[in-house]
């Protein structure tokens, strides 16, 4: 069956997500909701809902029931190898120490045991976003490039300065690395389940280990009653800001080099 062209829906999703996100931010409202524990962020959910009416359900069924990629070792390497490299580099440079964070047991240790619950609570929104990206991919020329650009534009409103806020270049770089990694996964592997696990675990592990002051990230990835977390490790201040983009950059490189064999078959 011929793939449908979703170019209009892609543009509509980008416009509506950013317009809605800017309005919510202007009025100091959250760009996500939590329903019975399940997290739903505007950028992850609304694009799929816009596409839902026009979806070729045979395509969606194939994505759900017959994912193209079913290996285990390689996705685990994509998740954990970059994280291990970051930790090792910090220890070698002597820029990291074991921390003594507040809520060590209530937040820290409990988050490790509650990882499956947090993953389940995030899976619907990650599933919807992954499905959206996979389904629109045939509609885009230069697929990995424009798939990554689409993902970046769907989060653009988060980086627009409002009030006293400033453009955060480091977060934008992190988004670019994450978007390129996701586009490579979509192009060459197309497995919604692994995509959800990989995206969630990369951010979850980084924030749990090194901490975060982002209330949005804490609420979405962890427990909604906390606003910040210091992390299991204390990292030198001049290094801390760059940990996530560095980890995502390594992830992007590893996935990119992993695609060499796949690209020869596509």
pLDDT of residue 210: 94
Contacting residues for 36 by C-beta, under 8 A, at least 6 apart = none
Q: The pTM is what?
A: 0.89
Report the alpha-carbon distance of residue 122 to residue 120 in Å, rounded: 5
Percent helix / strand / coil, the chain, rounded to 5: 70, 5, 25
- The label of the residue with tokens 């209330």 reads 215
Q: List residues bridging with 41 in a β-sheet.
A: 32
pLDDT value of residue 1: 43
Please give the pLDDT value at position 3.
58
DSSP secondary structure, 94-162, as one string = T-EEE---TTIIIIIIHHHHTHHHHHHHHHHHHHHHHHHHHHHGGGSSSHHHHHHHHHHHTTGGGGS--
Determine the pLDDT at residue 5.
78
DSSP helix/strand/coil, 34: strand
* Four-CA torsion 69, 72, 76, 79, nearest 10 degrees: 20
Q: Which residues lie across from 96 on neighbouring strands?
A: 235
**pLDDT mean values, one per 10 residues, the chain (266 residues):** 74 96 93 94 95 80 74 84 94 91 90 95 93 80 78 92 82 91 78 88 94 91 89 90 93 85 56
């Amino acid at each position: 069956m011929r793939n449908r062209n979703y170019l209009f829906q892609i543009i509509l999703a980008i416009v509506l997500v950013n317009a809605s996100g800017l309005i919510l931010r202007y009025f100091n409202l959250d760009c996500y909701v939590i329903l019975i524990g399940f997290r739903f962020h505007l950028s992850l959910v609304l694009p799929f809902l816009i596409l839902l009416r026009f979806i070729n359900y045979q395509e969606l069924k194939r994505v759900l029931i017959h994912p193209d990629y079913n290996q285990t070792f390689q996705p685990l390497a994509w998740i954990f190898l970059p994280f291990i490299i970051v930790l090792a580099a910090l220890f070698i440079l002597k820029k990291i120490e074991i921390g003594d964070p507040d809520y060590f047991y209530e937040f820290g240790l409990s988050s490790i045991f509650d990882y499956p619950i947090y993953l389940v609570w995030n899976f619907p929104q990650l599933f919807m976003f992954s499905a959206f990206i996979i389904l629109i991919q045939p509609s885009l020329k230069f697929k990995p490039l424009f798939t990554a650009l689409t993902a970046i534009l769907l989060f653009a409103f988060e980086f627009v300065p409002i009030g006293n806020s400033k453009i955060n270049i480091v977060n934008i770089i992190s988004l670019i690395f994450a978007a390129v990694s996701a586009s490579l996964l979509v192009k060459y592997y197309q497995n919604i389940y692994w995509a959800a696990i990989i995206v969630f675990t990369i951010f979850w592990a980084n924030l749990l280990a090194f901490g975060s002051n982002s209330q949005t990230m804490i609420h979405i990835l962890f427990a909604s009653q906390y606003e910040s977390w210091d992390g299991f490790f204390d990292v030198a201040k001049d290094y801390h800001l760059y940990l996530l983009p560095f980890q995502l950059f390594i992830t992007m490189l590893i996935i990119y080099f992993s695609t060499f064999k796949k690209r020869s078959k596509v």
